[in-house]
Amino acid sequence: MTDATDTSENVFTVEHRVPTAEREARNGHRGGVLWFTGLSGAGKSTLAFSLDEALFADGYHTFVLDGDNMRRGINADLGFSPAHRSENIRRVGEVAALFAASGTICISAFISPYRAHRAQARAAAGDHFHEIYVRAALETCERRDPKRLYERARAGEIANFTGIDDPYEAPDAPELVVDTDRLSVEESVRKVRAYVHREFRLT
């Protein structure tokens, strides 16, 4: 038993955070952010969840951030105004960076149409950031239209819809491009998985 003075001394102890490198060594792979960007309907979520399953089966520590778990939770206070969309992406970038620091491969699946927002997410995660452009022609996405969003945007029911009346700023130098116009989901997963093996494996 120590007395309060000893305890007090301990409060002054420099706090030691387990370094990310040690967590990565334990996991056998680097942590990082796989930042999917692309039009609605390009296949970001489908690819994110299929990749997550594949990487988990490979032994990676992974986690997906998407509209479902972000918009219902930490971003439940945000709407879809330009300021709120910006704040939505900012927070996703910061949460993804925390997961990367914990040694996890964090897959984020958001349209994230503006270069400036993606640059901010990259700045949050630093070297851990990998921008993956999930690319499909607007016509393809509009033909797929799984959630009938393009239909509603064309009908004027949704304003500022990316690709219709709001710009999508394509990445200048993404770490990887996945063309879902011509690649199946399986082929797309294979491509990103090979990239992850190359870039993240430590063993």
> Shortest gap between Cβ of 119 and a second copy (angstroms)?
16
Query: Which residues fall within 8 angstroms of residue 111, CB to CB, at 6 or more apart?
Result: 37, 38, 39, 40, 44, 162, 168
Is 184 catalytic? The answer is no
Q: Is 146 in the site for a second copy (CB under 8 A)?
A: yes
Segment 62 to 101, residues that bind a second copy, using CB under 8 A: 62-65, 69, 73-74, 77, 87, 90-91, 94-95, 97-99, 101
Q: Is 144 in the site for a second copy (CB under 8 A)?
A: yes
**Contact between 31 and 101 (Cβ < 8 Å):** yes
- DSSP code per residue over 91-146: HHHHHHHHHHHTT-EEEEE-----HHHHHHHHHHHGGGEEEEEEE--HHHHHHH-T
Q: Is 11 in the site for a second copy (CB under 8 A)?
A: yes
Catalytic site residue from 40, 45, 112, 188: 112
CA of 129: how far to CAs of 30, 40, 93, in Å? 11, 22, 10
Distance CA 101, CA 106 (A): 10
Q: Is 201 in the site for a second copy (CB under 8 A)?
A: no
Which C-beta is closer to a second copy: that of 18 or that of 194?
18
What is the binding site for a second copy (CB under 8 A)? Answer: 1-2, 4, 6-8, 10-13, 15-18, 22-23, 26, 41, 43, 45-46, 48-49, 52-53, 56, 61-65, 69, 73-74, 77, 87, 90-91, 94-95, 97-99, 101-104, 124, 140, 143-144, 146, 180-185, 187
Q: Which residues are catalytic?
A: 112
